[in-house]
Each structure stands twice: as C-alpha cells, then as structure tokens.
Chain A
Amino acid sequence: MQEDFDVIIVGTGFASSFFLSAYLEKSGTNARVLVLERGRRDSHAWRLQHRSPSSIAAESTFVNKNRAKQWFYTPGLGGGSNCWWAVTPRFMPADFAMRSQYGVGLDWPLSYDDLEEFYCRAEEVMAVSGSDDGTPYPRSRPYPQPPHRFSDPDRLLKAAYPELYFHQPTARARLATAKRPACCASGVCHLCPIDAKFTVLNEMDYLYADPRVEIVLEATVQEVETRGATATGVRYMKDGKEVSARGELVVLGANALFNPHILLRSGLDHVLLGKQLHEQVSVRATIDLDGVDNFQGSTSITGHGYMLYDGAHRAQRAGCLIESWNVPSLRLERGKWRQRLVLKFMFEDLPDVKNYVRVHRDNPALPETVYRGHSDYAQRGIDALPQLLPELLNALPVEQFVLDERPGTTENHILGTTVMGADPQQSIVDRHLVHHQVRNLLVLGSGAFPTGSPANPTLTISALALWAAHHLLS
C-alpha cells in the first residue's frame, strides 16, 4: 500500500535537517513528513567504540576508479555532521559574484545579503563560536558563542594582519551547551571523543522524534517519480524490496554524488546534470619558529587568515583561506618542542565539466565519479605560494619553513553537480533550489554551488536549506 506524505525528504545531513527544522516550524500538527536515510543510526557511543564515523563503508556506495582522488562522506543519520571538523566560515560576498567581480567562474543567482539572515540562524542552531572583534564579512548579529583562545603564533599574525586574520568560527563548542561539553582540543574532530562539536544527532535529533516525521533508515532512493512536470513521490529500496511513497513535495538532501545520481535515474536529463564536480585543493606549510611556542589554543584549529583570499589576484589565480592548526605537531629539537606552526592553505577550484558524476554502467544503482583533475586556476594559486609565503610569514620569527606543494587527496567536501542559476539552460535548480522543470522538487546541498569558494561549505549548505524552506513556506 502506498502512503501519502506532504513532503518526502531524502537524506538526514545538514541540508535535509536544516530544511526539516524550518519546515516543521512552519507546519501544522497534521503535517506528514517522510524522511528516507540510506544509512543507520550509529550512536556516538557506537562510533567511539568502533572508531568509525559509520557502520557502512562509504566506498561501497559509489564507484571511484581514480584512487588518487577521494570523495569522502559519511552514510548514516546525521550524514556529514558525524565526520566534519565543525569549521563554519561564511562565504565572502565576492564568492557569490566571481564572474562580475573577477571575470572567472559564475555568479550565484543570489547574493551574500540574501543569505545573511539565514547564516545567522544556522549559526544560532550550531552555537557557533567566533569573534566579533572584526570579521571578514559583514554580520548583522554577534556570534552565538565567544571565540576560542588563540595560540601565540595566532596573536602575532593578528597583530600583523588585524583586518585579515581572525579567530576561526567553529561549531566546536567554546562554552558547554545543554547537549555538549566545551571543546578541550583533543585534535581528532572527525570523531570527537567528548561529543563537543555540533552534530545532527546531538543537537537536532528531536526532529526525527517529532510525531509528524516518519523516518525510514537503510532506505536507498532510486528515483523521483514524476508525472509531466510534477514530482509525485519517490521509489526506494528497503530490505531488498522496492517501495514507493507519494508526496506533494520532494526534497533531495543527499550529497552532491547522490542527488545527481537520483535525478539522472529519474530521467530528468540536463546537459549539466552531474557535471562540475569539484572541491577545494589544499597544501600545507610546516614553519619552525624562533622562540615562540605554539599549541596554547583551546581548539584544534584556531586561526583563519584571509591574506590570500579576496582581491584582484582572483582574476588570475585561486583565492585561498589559511588555517592555523593547533593540534600538537612537535618539533623534535631540544627545548624547541612547541616552536612549530602548521598552516593549511585551502584554494578554491573552478568547476569544470570534465569532472562529473554519472550512473555506473554495470550497476546503475551506484553513482560513479569521473575526476580528471583540478583547474589551472587552482594550480596557479598553489604555484604562487612559494613566492608569497616568505612575505606573509614576516609577521613571525621564522627559522625555516617547508612547503609541501602536493595537494591532499580530499577536503571532505563534494561540490557542484546540480548547479543553481537563473537560466534553465545553464543550471539545474533556481535560486531557491527548486528544480527548473519539476517545480515541486527541491535539490539542496553543495551540489547547487555555482562556484566553490576557498571556505568550508557546511554553513552555507545549512543557510541555503533555511533560505529554500523560507521561500517555499512564506
């Protein structure tokens, strides 16, 4: 027997959970919501016991033949919140207007100002810690929590770059909340030993206990069912059986691998569907300091440098967000143990159609990633670093530094593949994340990002979900 729902939501990560929170807030007591999650409910205790973010291996859920490039996500209730490092910068205003400001990439069909209110709301839910003593982007409200403690190298960088160096905004609790203790800088944030970082399970689990919500775990959505230009429901697999559910509204909140996969299998073809898979590209520098100890900060990553982020250089090469790491990395020299600083440089990438997600030929139930490499634009950013770094480090008493220019294999972000835009010929969803052809179908998440920004995407994913819900329900 088929059941009818007001809304069917696919996935339980940031996008889905923030959308659901706004939906339930605005809905009456009779609302009926079906939530389909491919993973299980792996409690924090279970994850600690097994030292694993999920009881399901993410690699088993998609095909990736390019072993040099990893795409990381966590199947399970709460999705990526179970493995993120809780880094919550906003995007800069220019990130939404790369084409008009710098002549590269695309403009977003919405501006920073459009999202500002929703950034604030998402920060409230996550109890984000940050400094109001100057921020790189305009804010209408103070951060919900005060900033974490800087390390001593952070203080020197702040003194040298007062307008460009800040406390890292983070959902690693600076103060205990009702559900979480304060962070104590254990340095293994992908699975916090004391559950101090925000996760869907520790702060938003109430959503999935709401009597209006029916949640089905281990349910893998196959396709969105449509009639003409209307979504009528979804078809999913549960316990080896195919199940259909009818809904007035369908919301895809899986990640940027699975949202396009579902749409491709639904026959909603588009020349750009699944295309422009990308994420940031990062390199690291290890800096030996003369007489300055490090690691006094109160959390794993303490500083954010915007010295190479925004500016005219973005017309030529990628912008970069700098992270200052406070996880102890000892310098094994007598008396100089703590005189070391590790900086991570996260460069934006420009989306390219050569990188994409498709339906796997032999097993259509799985998406397959095809990745041929990051852009020349990102590489030019990396290539400029050896020249820029010495001057940048003038703020510190540097003995020597080593820059490892080999990019990491993943940033744990998955961007692009269901891009948003005003033109239905050039995009999959509109500015409110509504599918251009099927108007009762929303496609949430970082797949909608027209450009990636150097900044971590999660806060923007969450704010966009609130923005989409606000538009839909008001």
Chain B
Amino acid sequence: MALDRGRRAFIAALVAATGAGGWWFWRNQFGGHTPEVRLSPWTELVISTLRQRLDYLELEEEGMVHFARDLRKRRLHTLLRRLKAGDAETAEWLVQQFLMSSDFFWNDADESRPVGYMGYYDPYERPCANPFARPV
C-alpha cells in the first residue's frame, strides 16, 4: 500500500513536471500563443505599420494576419527590406494594398465599421474587384 502510494506520488510528480516543462517550453517559444497563431516578425511589422497609419480605424487582427501571410506568399522580399528600413513609400503602398484588399471601400469608407480582409487585391486572382469603378 505504501508502495502504491509512493508509485502514485511519483507518477503525479512526473505528470506535474512534464506539464510544467511543457508549459515553460510553450511559453518561451510561442509567447503564450498557440503555434497556429504565432506572429512572425514579418507579420508584426505589417500589423504595426497598418495600425500606426490607420489608428483611427478598427482593423480586424485576423484579417491583417491573413494579409501579411498573403503578402509573404508572394515573396516580396524587397518590400520587406524596405519596410524594415522604414521606407515611407513602401509603407504607403502597404496601406493602399491592404485597404484595397479590405471591405473598407465596399462599406463606403465608413470609419465606424470594423475593417475586414476580403482577399489580396490582385486583378488576376480577383478580376473586377475594383471597389470604385462604376459600370455605365
């Protein structure tokens, strides 16, 4: 019985230690986020640029994360370098590209509504998605 109690205590201690170690690893590696939503430095840079330039809009974070990933898929390495270097023109391009990819202009540029991401603005992937053009 004493042995059983000792075994149970040992197993409990082992489980607790494993859990604590796992928590410690997860916390240090992912900063409290699950791996699926971990923000890369690139994504952080994109989001911070958008937030800084559009601080009066409610930008949906999930949409910005998706936008950053869509940008990354396009291997815009030069863009990243310029953005990191604080190039203003690149930041402006980024903001324009995000707004054109969002529902902001489809909602008549209504600043009171949250801004969601609709999909990367690329006429070849989404033809006829110009939010301003009015057919005759």
A246 at the B interface (CB under 8 A) = no
Residues of A contacting B100 with CB < 8 Å?
Answer: 328, 330
* Option from A186, A328, A332 in Cβ contact (under 8 Å) with B127: A186
Given contact pairs A332-B53, A332-B95, A188 touches B135 in the complex (Cβ within 8 A):
no
Between A174, A296, A297, A332, the greatest number of chain B beta carbons within 10 A of the residue's beta carbon is seen for A332
Contact for B133 among A194, A296, A330, A337, CB less than 8 A: A296
Mask of A360-386 contacts with B, CB within 8 angstroms, 1/0: 000000000000000000000000000
Contact between chains at A337 and B105 (CB < 8 Å): yes
B77-106 contacts to A, CB under 8 A, are 92, 95-96, 99-100, 105
How many Å lie between the Cα of A299 and that of B128 in the bound state?
A: 11
A188 touches B124 (CB 8 A): yes
> Is A397 on the interface with B (CB-CB < 8 A)?
no
| Chain A residues, Cβ within 8 Å of B130 | 184-187, 295, 328
A136 at the interface (CB under 8 A from B): no
* Residues in chain A near residue B129, CB distance under 8 A: 186
Against A, the Cβ 8 Å flags (1 = close, 0 = not) of B100-134 are 10000100010100000000000110011111111
Q: Is the interface of A mostly helix, strand, loop or mixed?
A: loop
Contact B99 A48 (CB under 8 A): no
What is the bound-complex CA distance between A30 and B74, given in angstroms?
A: 53
Q: B1 an interface residue at 8 Å Cβ cutoff? A: no
- Taking the closest CB of chain A, its distance from the CB of B104, in whole angstroms, is 9
Which A residues are CB-close (under 8 A) to B95? 332
The answer to whether A193 and B136 touch (CB under 8 A), given A332-B53, A337-B99, is no
In the complex, what residues of A have CB within 8 A of residue B133's CB? 184-185, 295-299, 326
Instruction: Closest B residue to A186 by CB, please name it.
Output: B123
Contact B123 A187 (CB under 8 A): yes
Cα–Cα, bound, A181→B96 (Å): 28
Query: Are B124 and A48 in contact, with the CB atoms below 8 A?
Result: yes
| A contact residues around B92 at 8 Å (CB) | 332
Tell me the residues in window 157-211 of chain A with beta carbons closer than 8 Å to chain B beta carbons. Answer: 174, 182, 184-188, 191, 193-194
Count contacts on B: residues with CB < 8 A to the other chain.
22
Chain A residues whose CB sits within 8 angstroms of the CB of B96 once the complex forms:
330, 332
Known: A48-B124, A188-B123, A332-B53. A182 touches B99 (CB 8 A): no
User: Which residue of A182, A188, A193 has the most chain B CB atoms within 10 A of its CB atom?
Assistant: A193
C-alpha gap A296/B130 in the complex (Å): 10
Cβ < 8 Å to B, chain A residues 262-300: 294-299
Task: Compute how far the CA of A187 lies from the CA of B124 in the bound complex, rounded to whole angstroms.
Answer: 11
Bound form: Cα–Cα A337–B104 in Å: 11
A338 CB within 8 Å of chain B: yes
Interface centre among B56, B109, B129, B133 (most CB of A within 10 A): B133
A193, A294, A297: the one contacting B124 at CB < 8 Å is: A193
- 8 Å CB contact of B136 from A187, A298, A334, A335: A298
Q: Does A146 contact B (CB under 8 A)?
A: yes
CB pair A296–B132 under 8 Å, yes or no, is yes
The CA-CA distance from A294 to B127 in the complex, in Å, is: 20
Q: How far is the CB of B105 from chain A (nearest CB, A)?
A: 7
Using known A-B contacts A193-B123, A328-B100, determine if residue A337 contacts B109 with beta carbons closer than 8 Å.
Answer: yes
CB <8 Å contact, B128 and A184: yes
Is A471 an interface position by the 8 A CB rule?
Answer: no
CA distance A295 to B111 in the complex (A): 20
Shortest CB distance B101–A (Å)? 12
Cα distance, A326 to B105, chains bound together (Å)? 16
Q: Are B136 and A186 in contact (CB under 8 A)?
A: no
A149 and B134 contacting across the interface, CB-CB below 8 Å: yes
Whether A148 sits at the interface, judged by CB under 8 Å, is yes
The minimal Cβ–Cβ distance linking A88 to chain B, given in whole angstroms, is 18
The smallest C-beta distance from B56 to any residue of chain A, in angstroms, reads 6
**Nearest neighbor of A328 in chain B, beta-carbon distance:** B132
Min CB distance A448 to B, Å, is 35
> A193 contacts which of B53, B105, B127 (Cβ < 8 Å)?
B127
Q: For the complex, give the distance between the alpha carbons of A387 and B5 in Å.
A: 96
Interface residue? A51 (CB, 8 A): yes
Q: Can you name the residue of chain A whose Cβ is closest to the Cβ of B130?
A: A185
In the assembled complex, the Cα of A305 lies from the Cα of B56 at a distance in Å of 38
CB distance from B45 to the nearest CB of A (A): 18
Chain B residues within 8 Å of A332, by CB: 53, 92, 95-96
**In the bound complex, what is the Cα–Cα distance between A162 and B9 (angstroms)?**
93
Partner of B132, one of A182, A188, A295, A335: A295
CB distance from A394 to the nearest CB of B (A): 25
Q: Contact between A51 and B135 (Cβ–Cβ < 8 Å)? A: no
A296–B134 contact, CB under 8 A?
A: yes
In the bound assembly, the distance between CA atoms of A335 and B110 in angstroms comes to: 9
Interchain CB contact under 8 A, B124 and A149: no
Name the A residues within 8 Å of B105 (CB-CB): 337
Chain B residue at minimum C-beta to C-beta distance from A293 = B132
B132 x A184 contact (CB < 8 A) = no
Contacts of A149 in B (CB 8 A): 134-136
Given A182-B135, A185-B132, A298-B134, 15 more A-B residue pairs with CB atoms under 8 Å apart are: A51-B124, A149-B135, A184-B135, A185-B130, A186-B123, A187-B123, A187-B130, A188-B123, A193-B123, A193-B127, A193-B128, A295-B133, A297-B133, A299-B133, A337-B105
18 contacts between A and B (CB under 8 A): A51-B124, A148-B136, A182-B135, A184-B127, A185-B130, A186-B127, A186-B129, A186-B130, A191-B124, A295-B130, A296-B134, A298-B135, A298-B136, A328-B132, A332-B53, A332-B92, A332-B95, A337-B109
Nearest 5 Cβ contacts at the A-B interface? A185-B133, A184-B128, A186-B123, A295-B132, A193-B127
